[in-house]
Amino acid sequence: MPSTRTLLQALLLGVGSCAANPLVASNSGPEVETRTLEEIHQAALKEGGIVTLWHGGDETTQQNTLKQAFEARFPGMTLNSTVDLSKYHDAALDEQLANNNVYVDSIILQTVQDYPRWNEEGALLQYAPLGFNEVAPAYKDSLGATYYGVAINGWKFIVNTNKSNVALNEWEDFLNPELKDKLVLTYPNDDDAVLWAFDLILERYGTGFFDRLLAQNPRWVRGTATPSTILRQANSTYAATFTSGGGFVSSNGVNFTLPTQGPFVTWAQTAAILKDAPHPEGAKLLHGFLLSTEWQQPRGWSVRRDVPLPANFPFGELDDNKNTNAGAFMPFMVDRARVGRLKDWLESKIGTPQGLSPLKDGI
């Protein structure tokens, strides 16, 4: 039965008892998928051939590649994907649950602290999709199978060498005088994954590093795709960032690197199917596709343990890199008191997020 709590209760309860153990398991076992993708495809077509996906992001076109690939792979299917900031998607989903009016099938969000709460409330489908057994334990609710990582995201060091010849190998390189007035960074008090990067920086290098970073006069923007876009613009003088993902193959003078000694952010973008999804077979098909080797392998680091890296991937195996821990993102996100304190401290230094919203206004 759908949750009967009010929207206000949803907003006030937060993560509740899940804070101690974010990977909370359900009491009963999940449905384990045994069909092939082709068999699920046929079931999804009989259901209507539609999947409604809410995906976290900050530009409306960010999931166009997924939509095109999914619809080409499974003729007759339509993937209706809506991209918005995860913090807005999760509030809107709480409203659906409070009103017993679920019309979304699948969610893939950065706000991973909400998955354990939704799991406890019984809002998520207990379902282990194809490929679930190969997903690393750190990225999934391994017993209940209600939520699991489907992609590894992370922030890279990015520099446009047409605008700066500074090599970015460690965090200290961003303090190079040549990068003064040339850094563009996402507000950390507007995005929790960016906030985590600053948490790691402050823990490793202290507030002195942050003060020196501020002395570089960075431009603060909203959205994590925004810095990468700006430093590529021909009429822009901004040259470098560490709050965007981008690709992994350098091109057109834009280079991607990672620190060899300092920490950096990676995390598993997490997915779930709503228990009352109107198109559960379509959602099962989508999640099986997302965890398939054909989708995972070309994208670099995989949530699956059995997927090799692409031949041209420059960064090596994620598990071999001691400077990042993608599984530590959820514990950070669940600790909302720590997140709130850090946001408040940073806001006292750089102010509230200002400027254009990439989803609504462009750059």
Sequence spans of domains, the chain: 27-153+267-316, 156-264+338-350
The angle, 0 to 180 degrees and rounded to 10, between the axes of the packed helices 280-290 and 37-47 is 150
Three-state secondary-structure class, residue 243: strand
Q: How confident is the model at residue 247 (pLDDT cuts 50, 70, 90)?
A: confident
Predicted local confidence at residue 29, as pLDDT: 81
Residue 286, pLDDT > 70, answer: yes
- What does 10-37 look like in DSSP terms, one character per residue? HHHHTTGGGGG-SSPPPSSPPEE--S-H
Choose the weakest-confidence range: 17-21, 133-137, 174-178, 327-331.
17-21
Q: What is the pLDDT of residue 27?
A: 52
Least confident of 1-5, 161-165, 313-317: 1-5
Per DSSP, the residues of 59-128 read STTTTHHHHHHHHHHSTT-EEEEEEE-HHHHHHHHHHHHHTT-----EEEES-TTHHHHHHHTT-B--EE
| Nearest residue to 156 (alpha-carbon basis) of 193, 209, 108, 203 | 193
Per-residue pLDDT of 55-66, as tens digits, reads: 998 888 889 999
User: According to the model, what pLDDT value does residue 189 have?
Assistant: 95
Cα 262 to the center of its chain, rounded Å: 21
Looking at residue 60, what is its pLDDT? 83
Alpha-carbon span 235 to 326, nearest angstrom? 36
- Fold identical between 27-153+267-316 and 156-264+338-350? yes
Q: Which residues contact 122 (CB under 8 A, 6 or more apart)?
A: 1, 3, 275
pTM assigned to the model: 0.89
**In this predicted model, what pLDDT tens digit does every residue of 66-82 receive, in sequence order?**
999 999 999 999 999 99
CATH class, 156-264+338-350 region: alpha beta
| Contact between residue 152 and residue 318 where contact means Cβ atoms under 8 Å apart | yes
Closest listed residue to residue 175, CA positions, set 163, 187, 165, 183: 183
- The architecture (CATH level 2) of 27-153+267-316 comes to 3-Layer(aba) Sandwich (3.40)
Rounded Cα distance, 339 and 333, in Å: 7
Tell me how crowded residue 272 is: count the other CB atoms within 10 A of its CB. 26
- Residue closest to 271 by CA, chosen among 185, 149, 141, 188: 149
In this prediction, residues 270-293 reach a mean pLDDT of 98
Question: Over 90: is that where the pLDDT of 337 sits?
Answer: yes
- Model confidence at 22: pLDDT above 60: no
End-to-end CA distance of the chain: 43
pLDDT of residue 360: 55
Give the pLDDT confidence of 28-42 residue by residue, as tens digits: 689 999 999 999 999
